[in-house]
Every structure is written in structure tokens, then in C-alpha cells.
Amino acid sequence: MEIKSLDNTSHDKLFQAFEQAFADYELQLNKAELLTMLKRRGFNPTLSFAAFDGDKIVSFTCNGIGDFNGTRMAYDTGTGTLKDYRGQGLATQIFEYSIPHLKEAGIKEYLLEVLQHNTGAVSVYSKLGFEVTREFYYFKTEPERINKEVKTPDFPYTLGVININEYDSIPGFWDFNPSWQNSIESINRAPEDFICLGVFTEGRLVGYGVFDPTSGDVTQIAVDKPYRRKGIGSLLLQKMIEANKYTSIKIVNTDIACDSITVFLKAKNIEPTGKQFEMIKKL
């Protein structure tokens, strides 16, 4: 068994390892979806590592590298171990092997998200020095189950496609900072995948949404505080549903401490599907 970088590892070999490691997982990805996910999350093969049994990947951690909330970070984009190789501590060995390489590359913190019901993984990460920084809900539902009632805004407005990088006001709409996979940086890694919509009144942006119609992922949705409860959020969500090409609508990683988004989604008959921890280790 040898642990080494995923640099020069083919996409086919990596996908085969993902497919086998997550064969019993609740969410399956095809090769194109996996490559899209890795691109958006900043996958860096040189700073990602795996355990090889001969030429075969049997355990791996794919790391995304980027700036998150002003700090140079590594993000665990996917960690998995093939079923026949579990229970040998390979994921922990890979993580420990990676730390000197990440430090040498200027990485200050390591970030990951883990399903709260995966108590074994939570325990392992805690022992490795990770601390919970936030708790997230994730939501998933079929479009036909969503309450599509829209209250028409009682003021003149226009709705159109926008470039979110052109509006410095957007972070001021947020009640919580987006998670790694929903960040502006993540969107900008694959802007062609997203529909970005904005609602304007008197030439001013007052609400916006970012949506991936291929995966059904509502990546960001927010309304300027003085313009809330006027139908803008409902209008944006409705336009996303109309553009959706997937079998479901997903909203992943909303901050549990933020009541506004939870109340909004529940009013649309979108209930939480589960919870995740965001965990960070300082390197």
C-alpha cells in the first residue's frame, strides 16, 4: 500500500474509485456530475491524495483549494474508501500524510462538511482536531410539491439575467455567509453552469438568485432586507423552478441559526431533509 498525490491520475480512474467507494451512498453521481462538482469546489489533484494497492485507488481524499472568508483553505471535496479496505484507518493515514504538503502550499485551515447522522465520521474528525463551526440544513423536494403561490410585488420592478460579480451590494443581502460549495468563488469556477437572476426597482438590485438547472441546485437566493415579504423571494424561486431540468430541487447548506431562510422554505412546503456539520481544523 502506497499513499501518494492524485497528480497525473486519470479522470476515469478517479471516477471508478468514487463509484465503488460510494456505491451504498444515498446520492449517486455520474462521471460528468463528478467532474462538475470537483471543478466548482476547486479540486487540486496535486494537493489531493490516495492510498494505492498496486495501481488501484482504494481510499482517497480530493481537496479543493481556495480562499474562503479571507483565509487560504483546503476543502474536503470527497473522502471515500472501497468497502473491502474499510476499517484499516486509511482515510486517517491519508489525511495525516497530506498535512505537511498542505502547510507547504500555504494552506492555513482545513474545512469539511459531514452529515450529522454519520456519527462515526464526526467522531474521527473530532479526534483529528476538527471543530464544529456551523450547523447546516439541507433540503430536497420534487418541484410539484412546492407551494408556488407568488405575491406580486406592490411596486414597479423588472427581472432579468445578471452577472453577480457586478453588484457589490449582494453580500449585504446575506443573513449568513454561503458555504464553500455555494460561495461566489465556487460559482465563478463554472459560471456557464448557472442562471443568475436579479430583481430591480428603480434601477437598484433588491433581490437575486443563482441556480443550476441541470442539478436542480439553488446555490444562492437572497433579498435586500427592506424589500423582504413583498414577493421577491417567491418570484425568484418560481423562475428557478420553471428553468429546472432535474427531477428535484435542492437547497444545500443553509445555516440552522438563520431562521429567515428556514421559514421561507417551509412556507414553500420545502422541509429539511437532514443536517450537516461544517468543521474546521487550523493547520
Give the whole-angstrom CA distance, residue 130 versus residue 135. Answer: 14
65 φ/ψ angles, rounded to the nearest 5 degrees: -125, 135
Q: What is the pLDDT of residue 193?
A: 96
Question: Strand 131-141 vs strand 109-115: parallel, antiparallel, or unpaired?
Answer: unpaired
CA 233 to chain centre: 21
Radius of gyration of the chain (CA): 20
Query: For residues 39, 10, 51 and 121, what is the CA-based torsion angle, rounded to 10 degrees?
Result: 30
Q: What is the pLDDT of residue 256?
A: 98
Q: What is the pLDDT of residue 30?
A: 86
Q: What is the pLDDT of residue 22?
A: 87
Q: What is the pLDDT of residue 68?
A: 95
DSSP secondary structure code for residue 85 in this structure:
G
Give the whole-angstrom CA distance, residue 246 versus residue 224. Answer: 28
Tell me the pLDDT of the chain (283 aa) as tens digits: 999 999 999 999 999 999 999 887 766 678 888 999 999 999 999 999 999 999 999 999 999 999 999 999 999 999 999 999 999 999 999 999 999 999 999 999 999 999 999 998 899 999 999 999 999 999 999 999 999 999 999 999 999 999 999 999 999 999 999 999 999 999 999 999 999 999 999 999 999 999 999 999 999 999 999 999 999 999 999 999 999 999 999 999 999 999 999 999 999 999 999 999 999 999 9
Angle at 58 between CA 282 and CA 92, to 5 degrees: 25
Residues 6+ apart with CB under 8 A from 4: 49, 50, 52
Q: What is the pLDDT of residue 26?
A: 61
Cα distances (Å, whole numbers) of residue 67 to 72, 189, 190: 5, 12, 16
Q: What is the pLDDT of residue 23?
A: 83
Give the whole-angstrom CA distance, residue 142 versus residue 270. Answer: 9
Q: What is the pLDDT of residue 226?
A: 97
DSSP 3-state of 24: coil
Give the burial string for 105-140 (b: 16+ CB within 10 Å, else e). Answer: eebebbbbbbeeeeeebbebbeebebeeebebbbbb
User: Helix/strand/coil (H, E, C) string of 180-238?
Assistant: HHHCHHHHHHCHHHCEEEEEEECCEEEEEEEEECCCCEEEEEEECHHHCCCCHHHHHHH
Largest CA distance in the chain: 66
Amino acid at the residue 256 = I
Cell of 115: 452529515
| Closest-CA residue to 85 (of 26, 28, 20, 136) | 20
Q: Mind listing the pLDDT tens digit for each residue in 70-128?
A: 999 999 999 999 999 999 999 999 999 999 999 999 999 999 999 999 998 899 999 99
The domains found in the chain, sorted by start residue, are: 2-107 (3.40.630.30), 139-274 (3.40.630.30)
